[in-house]
Amino acid sequence: MRRRRNVKIVATLGPASSDRETIRELFLAGADVFRLNMSHGAHEEIAQRHRLIREIEHELDRPIAILADLQGPKLRCGTFADGPVTLEDGAHFRFDLDDRPGDAARVRLPHPEIFAALKPGATLLVNDGAIRLRVERCDESSADMIVEQGGVISDRKGVNVPDVVLPLAALTDKDRKDLEFACRLGVDWVAMSFVQRPEDIVEGKALLGGRAGIIAKIEKPAAVEAIDGIIAEADGIMVARGDLGVELPLTKVPGIQKRLIETARLAGKPVIVATQMLESMIHSPVPTRAEVTDVSNAIYEGADAVMLSAESAAGEFPVEAVATMNAIAEEVERDPYHRKAMEAGRPKARTRVADAITAAAREVAETVSVKAICCFTHSGTTALLAARERPRVPIIVLTPFFATARRLSLVWGLHCVHTHEVERFKLAVVSAARAARAGGFASDDDRIVVIAGIPFNTPGSTNILRVAPVREKLIYEGEPE
C-alpha cells in the first residue's frame, strides 16, 4: 500500500461515494483522508460512512485519516413575497430585521450581529458575490445600501460581509453538537469554518479536548490578516478558496494561497488546498488543462494535501477524479523543478534540538546511501518536523497509537505504521528496519536513518539519530546501547 507520491489526497464522501465498494476503490485509487461534510447528511449516514472507512482500514492494514468538516454559521437573507427580484445597478436596497416578506426595496436579514458591526462604506455580497451592495447608512436594525453590481436575488440567498470582522462565534449550536458527535465516532481531524481570529480556534480546541486535531478553514479576509496567530493555535489549516474568492478579488487568491502554504509549512503545520480543483470531473471523466495546472501548482508550492469536494461526493466519476489527482501528483513529484521548490522552501532558522535532529536526518539521507528516514513518535511532533524538511527519501512513521498514525496520514510524505511500544532505542531500530523492509522501502543490504526521543514517551524530546543497516542480523538485542 505504499504511495508513489508525498502529497496527500483528501476525498469528500457523499451520495456518489457512500457504499463500501466505492470507498474502498477511492482509497485504492489514492485517497489518504476521507472528509465527512457535516453540512450534509444525517448523523446516521455519517456514522455509517465512518464505520465503512474503519472496516476498510482494518482490511487493508493501513491507517486512514477521517476529517469532519463543520458547517459554521450561514448568513442568509429572508424570503420574498412575490418570488425573485432583480436589483438594478445604482438602485437603493435595504436589509432589516422586519420579518415581513421582502420586495424590490428591502428584505429581512435575521442577523443583528451584522448590523452591530456594519459601518458606512462597508460591502455586502449576495449569492456568492453575484450581487454587490455598499452601505450608505446603518443602525442596529437596518442598513440602507446602494447596488454597485446588480442581479437576481431570491429566497435565503447567502450574504457575505468581507471587510468587517463580525461578532459571531465560529461555532453554532449545530456545530457544537456535530463536533461532539464526530469526536464520539472517533474522527482524527475537525475542520472549523468561519474562523476570523485565533480565539475561535482556542474555543474549538477546548471543546475537542485533544480528541482530534483542529483544522482552521481560511475563508475570510480577517483570517488571512490574523494567519500567524491562527496557525499558532491550530493543528493545521485549509485554504478554502471558494469563500476566499467571494470575499476577496479573485486575482488575490493565488498569492494568498502561496503565502498560506509557506506560512504553515514553516510552522510545521499541515495545509490543505481545497475547492474546485477538478470541478469539471463532476460531469466529465477527464479534467481541463487549467485544472491540472491548478492541482500541480498547489503541489509545487508544497501543500501537504489537495482536496476533492463535489468531484468525489456527488460527481459522476468519483474514483476517476481521485485517480487523476494521484496521477497528477506522481508526475509533478518526478519533475526536478519540484525537488528544487521543496528545497528552496526549507526553514532557515533551527533553534531546538528536535529541529536540528530532523534537519540532520534529512542531510544524512541526502549525503550517504540511505533509503528511508524512520521516526518513532507518540504525539507526532517528530514526524511533523521530519516532514517539514521535505527530504528526498521516504519518511516512515512508527507509533504505538492508532490515533497518531491516523492523524499523521494527512501530512506530506508520511507513511504511517502502527507498531508495538518500545522502551529502548535499539529495539526501535529493529522495528524500523522491519517496517522499511516490509513496506518495500529498503532491502537487507540497505541502510536507514532512525530518529527518536530519549527517554521514550516524552513528547517533543527528539534528540537521537542513528544510521542503521536493515539486515536484521546486524541489529540484535544483545548489542550495546
Q: Which residues are catalytic?
A: 35, 76, 217, 275
Question: What is the 8-class DSSP label of residue 152?
Answer: E
Among residues 197, 157, 206, which one has the least CA distance to residue 179? 206
Which value, in Å, is the radius of gyration of the alpha carbons in the chain?
24
Name every residue whose Cβ is closer than 8 Å to that of residue 301 and which is 6 or more positions away in sequence. 257, 258, 261, 262, 341
DSSP 17: G
Q: Secondary structure of the chain: what % helix, strand, coil (to 5)?
A: 40, 20, 40
Q: Is the dihedral of CA 343, 348, 354, 357 positive or negative?
A: positive
What's the CA gap between 323 and 26, in Å, rounded? 8
- Between CA 227 and CA 218 the distance in angstroms is 8
Classify the phi-psi angles of 321: left when phi > 0, otherwise alpha if psi is within -120 to 50, otherwise beta. Answer: alpha
Q: What is the DSSP string of 177-209?
A: HHHHHHHHHT-SEEEESS--SHHHHHHHHHHHT
- Grid coordinates representing 86 are 432583480
Q: What are phi and psi of 69, to 5 degrees?
A: -105, 110
Backbone φ and ψ of 216, nearest 5°: -90, 120
Cα–Cα distance, 331 to 240 (Å, whole number): 25
